[in-house]
Each structure stands twice: as C-alpha cells, then as structure tokens.
C-alpha cells in the first residue's frame, strides 16, 4: 500500500515556516516586543520628561507648553549633590571593577583545576549572584549594624576594638555611619555581587582554550607564570572585556546597594546617580529632574559598551 503524497497546500505551509527569512523574524518578534515595552517606551518617556516641567502631581505632558529645553539639565548639573553622586558613581564603579577582574581571574584559575570539593566551592562562589540583591544587601546591612555587628564582635574578641586596641577606643566601628567606612562598604558589596558573574564568564573562557596550546606550552617547558601572561591572559582578553562590560553596566546603574545599605548617607557621601534620581524624581516629586539625572547614565553606558566591544573585536582580530 503506497503512502499518499502530501497535499500541495500542506507542502507550501511546511516550506513557508522552514524559510529562514520567515522563521527568523517570527522567533525574534516576542523579544523585540519585550524590549520595546520594557526598555524603549520608558526611555522615550524619560526623554520627554527630562525636557519638560512635569511633576508627580501632573504626570502628563500635554503639549509644547511643558517644554523647558535644557533647563532641567542645567539645574541638575549646578546641584552639588548631583556632582557628588556622579563622582561617587564613577569611583565606586572603577574601584570595584579593578578588584572584580583581579579576583575573578584568580577564582577562575582555581576553579578550573581539579580538587576535592570543587562542586561545593563553585556553588559557594555562585551563591551571591543567585541570591536576590535586595536580600543580600539587607544581610550586609545587618552585618554592618552600628551596635550588633558580628564583625565588630569578632574584632572585640580578637582585641582589635575597645580601649588600648588597634582600632579603639570605641567598641564599634560604625561601618555605615562614617563616610570612608560607608564608601568602602558600598564598594565591598558591589565586589561581592558582581564577582561571581565575572568568574563564570572567565571560567568559560579558560575552558575554551585549546588543549593542544596548553600541551605545547608544557612541552616547551613554560611555567605557570609564563603560561599565564603569554597564553591565558591574551586569549582571555576578549572574554575579559565582555565580563568587564557586564560588571560595569550592573554597577554603574545599580540602585539597590546604596539605597538599602546607606540610603546615600552619611551626608550624601555614598549617593550615586540612580539613588539621587530616585530621591529627586520619586520621593521629591520632580519627575523632570529625576529623568534628567537618569539620562546622564545613558551616554556613559553607550560609550563604555562601544569601547569594550571594540576592544574585544580588536583582540579577536589580533
């Protein structure tokens, strides 16, 4: 008994969905709608707000009578708190990412080796990234409490706090109450948060290095440091650029760490652009200036992304 051939209409439908010109846009359509809804529309709305005088009490832009030009940007830039927030954002990002890249390379090299308990160590390294950032920062908030900090307790037991001690005579460090300690705490939490992602990315890059390259280096008698600086790091440079790009974007645009940990204090010494835009636009009710502050992030992030992607492409071509 012969099997009947498929009808021409069914055949045309099958070939229609097998066509890459049709299937590609069809599969990309949900992602495009998602990006437009969650990124494109809020971005356009923020641009409109930044050039208007809109407030929380009147959140609609009715027409050209709300247009104020660059007045919001001038007012924002003349604000001393904004300049401090901009400086803090840049400093926190750069300092934390230097430590992240160094520690991520070390952890990636350690985790690429075979040792007992390797899976447990990988799980512990990834745990900060899988933990919701608000819960993680809240845990740090309690660990750095001015009175009941376990870190202070350990230091007191070790004789590092209290009368006639190295960090005395007080019995508490007041981590979040002093400007330098609060800024250091914010940087440490940023490192704790972004280190796992950078480690995983670099670990994937290490595993992609051809085994014959490693074997050739071992045969030639190259030691660990020579292989590190002449083989691993040059081959990891494009992957390192990608890891740095992700970490920079996450740190530069972060709101949760400074908001939950210090709320920008003390005296705005840990204020960053994201938190100041929130305080100015949402809590202060000035949506226009809040949007103007937030838009200062956009050109910086675009410049960082272009620079990192060019670096990665140049490294791949070399």
Would you list the DSSP string of 125-170?
HHHHHHS-HHHHHHHHHHHT-TTT-HHHHHHHHTTSSSTTSTT-SS
Would you tell me the crossing angle of helices 179-207 and 133-143 to the nearest 10 degrees? 140
| Domain co-membership, 97 together with 201 | yes
Look at residue 124 and tell me whether its pLDDT is greater than 80.
yes
Tokens of 37: 């809804």
Distance CA 158, CA 165 (A): 10
Q: Is residue 231 part of a domain?
A: yes
Look at residue 210 and tell me whether its pLDDT is greater than 70.
yes
| Cα 247-251-255 angle, rounded to 5 deg | 145
Look at residue 6 and tell me whether its pLDDT is greater than 80.
no
| Domain co-membership, 24 together with 102 | no
Q: Which of 66-70, 95-99, 234-238, 294-298 has the highest mean pLDDT?
A: 95-99
Domain count, the chain: 2
| Domain co-membership, 6 together with 115 | no
Share of the chain above pLDDT 90, in %: 17
| Domain co-membership, 9 together with 101 | no
Is-contact 235 246, C-beta < 8 A? no
β-partners of residue 67 are 52
pLDDT-based confidence at 64, cuts 50/70/90? very low
The average pLDDT across 272-301 equals 86
Rounded to 5 degrees, φ, ψ at 220 are -75, -5
| Domain co-membership, 102 together with 209 | yes
Q: Is residue 129 part of a domain?
A: yes
| Domain co-membership, 241 together with 298 | yes
> Which domain does 43 fall in, by range?
1-50
| Domain co-membership, 103 together with 220 | yes
β-partners of residue 52 are 67
| Domain co-membership, 239 together with 307 | yes
For residue 211, say if its preceding peptide bond is cis, omega within 30 degrees of 0.
no
| Domain co-membership, 25 together with 119 | no
Q: Is residue 158 part of a domain?
A: no
| Domain co-membership, 36 together with 125 | no
């Amino acid at each position: 008994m012969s099997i009947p051939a498929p009808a021409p209409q069914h055949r045309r439908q099958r070939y229609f969905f097998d066509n890459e010109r049709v299937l590609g846009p069809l599969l990309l359509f949900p992602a495009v709608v998602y990006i437009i809804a969650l990124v494109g529309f809020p971005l356009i709305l923020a641009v409109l707000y930044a050039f208007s005088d809109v407030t929380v009490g009147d959140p609609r832009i009715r027409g050209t009578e709300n247009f104020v030009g660059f007045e919001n940007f001038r007012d924002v830039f003349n604000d001393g708190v904004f300049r401090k927030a901009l400086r803090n954002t840049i400093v926190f990002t750069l300092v934390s990412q230097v430590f992240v890249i160094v520690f991520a390379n070390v952890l990636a090299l350690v985790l690429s080796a075979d040792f007992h308990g390797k899976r447990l160590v990988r799980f512990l390294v990834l745990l900060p990234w899988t933990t919701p950032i608000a819960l993680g920062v809240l845990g740090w908030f309690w660990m750095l409490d001015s009175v009941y900090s376990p870190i202070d307790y350990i230091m007191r037991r070790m004789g590092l706090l209290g009368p006639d001690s190295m960090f005395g005579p007080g019995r508490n460090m007041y981590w979040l109450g002093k400007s330098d300690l609060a800024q250091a705490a914010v940087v440490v939490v940023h490192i704790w948060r972004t280190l796992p992602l950078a480690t995983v990315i670099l670990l994937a890059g290490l595993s992609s290095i051809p085994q014959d390259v490693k074997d050739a280096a071992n045969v030639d008698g190259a030691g660990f440091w020579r292989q590190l600086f002449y083989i691993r790091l040059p081959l990891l440079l494009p992957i390192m650029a990608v890891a740095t790009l992700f970490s920079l974007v996450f740190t530069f645009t972060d709101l949760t760490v400074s908001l939950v940990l210090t709320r920008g204090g003390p005296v705005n010494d840990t204020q960053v652009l994201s938190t100041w835009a929130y305080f100015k636009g949402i809590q202060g009710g000035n949506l226009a200036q809040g949007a103007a502050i937030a838009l200062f992030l956009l050109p910086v992030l675009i410049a960082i992304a272009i620079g990192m992607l060019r670096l990665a492409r140049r490294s791949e071509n070399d």
